[in-house]
C-alpha cells in the first residue's frame, strides 16, 4: 500500500502561477500596456536608435583608466635599486589561477639583489591565465608586487604573454643602482623594511 501523501505537500501549480514564501500563490502580473508584446519590444529598439552614440577613438586616443585599475604587474625596488622581492613565493600560493611562478635564490656578499637572505631569481606571470584579481598583491609581505594601469597586453603569440622578471621589474629611477650591489640604506634588512617613510 503506498504511503499517504503528507499534509504539507504543495499543490499543483497551474500555468503562470508562482509559489510564494509561505505557500501562497499569486496570479500572473497584469499587463500595463495596451500595445502587443512585439510592439513593446520594438519600442525599446526604436527608442535607442536615435540616442547619441559614444565612440572612442582607441588606439589614437588612449583610454584613461581609473586610478585603482588592476593592470599589468610591477616588481618594485628600494630607493637604492635593490629588489623588494625576497622570493617567498606567497604570491604564487595565493594566485587562484596558478599564473605566477617564482624560484627563490640566495643572496651572497658578492652578489646581492635584495636586502634579505633570498631574492626572486626567477619570476614569471602567465597573462594567459591571470584573472587580475589582486590576491597576489595582498599576499606580498614586502609590497614588492603591485599592479599598474597598463591594460594593453594583447598579443598574437602565446609565448610573449608569459612575462619574465626583466619585463616586470620597475625601471631604475635617478639615484638607483642596478643590482647586484651592497646594501646602501642600512646594515641589514630591518633597516630597509622598518625605516621611516618606507
DSSP classification of residue 106: E
95 annotated to a ligand binding site: yes
| CB-based contact 107:118 (threshold 8 Å) | yes
43 is in an annotated binding site: no
Distance set, CA 53 to CA 59, 65, 68 (Å): 18, 20, 27
Strand partners, 100: 125
Query: Is the separation of the CB atoms in 168 and 177 below 8 Å?
Result: no
Q: Does the annotation place 140 within a ligand binding site?
A: yes
Residue 184 annotated in ligand binding: no
Nearest alpha carbon to residue 105 among 180, 193, 54: 180
Q: 181 a known binding residue?
A: no
Q: Is 91 annotated as a binding residue?
A: yes
> Which candidate, 104, 129, 114, places its Cα nearest to that of 184?
114
Residue 63, annotated as binding a ligand: no
Q: Do 179 and 116 meet the contact criterion of CB atoms below 8 Å apart?
A: no
Q: Which residues are annotated as a binding site for [4Fe-4S] cluster?
A: 85, 88, 91, 95, 130, 133, 136, 140
Binding-site residues: 85, 88, 91, 95, 130, 133, 136, 140
Amino acid at each position: 500500500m503506498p504511503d499517504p501523501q503528507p499534509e504539507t505537500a504543495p499543490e499543483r501549480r497551474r500555468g503562470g502561477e508562482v509559489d510564494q514564501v509561505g505557500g501562497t500563490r499569486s496570479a500572473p502580473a497584469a499587463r500595463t500596456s495596451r500595445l502587443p508584446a512585439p510592439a513593446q519590444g520594438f519600442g525599446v529598439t526604436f527608442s535607442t536608435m536615435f540616442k547619441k552614440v559614444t565612440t572612442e577613438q582607441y588606439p589614437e586616443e588612449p583610454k584613461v583608466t581609473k586610478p585603482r585599475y588592476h593592470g599589468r604587474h610591477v616588481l618594485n625596488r628600494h630607493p637604492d635599486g635593490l629588489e623588494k622581492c625576497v622570493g617567498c613565493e606567497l604570491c604564487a600560493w595565493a594566485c587562484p589561477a596558478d599564473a605566477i611562478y617564482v624560484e627563490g635564490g640566495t643572496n651572497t656578499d658578492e652578489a646581492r639583489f635584495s636586502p634579505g637572505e633570498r631574492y626572486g631569481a626567477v619570476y614569471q606571470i602567465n597573462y594567459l591565465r591571470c584573472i587580475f584579481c589582486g590576491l597576489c598583491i595582498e599576499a606580498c609581505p614586502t609590497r614588492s608586487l603591485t599592479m599598474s594601469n597598463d591594460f594593453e597586453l594583447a598579443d598574437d603569440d602565446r609565448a610573449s604573454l608569459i612575462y619574465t622578471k626583466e619585463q616586470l621589474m620597475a625601471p631604475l629611477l635617478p639615484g638607483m643602482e642596478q643590482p647586484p650591489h651592497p646594501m646602501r640604506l642600512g646594515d641589514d634588512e630591518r633597516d630597509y623594511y622598518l625605516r621611516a617613510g618606507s
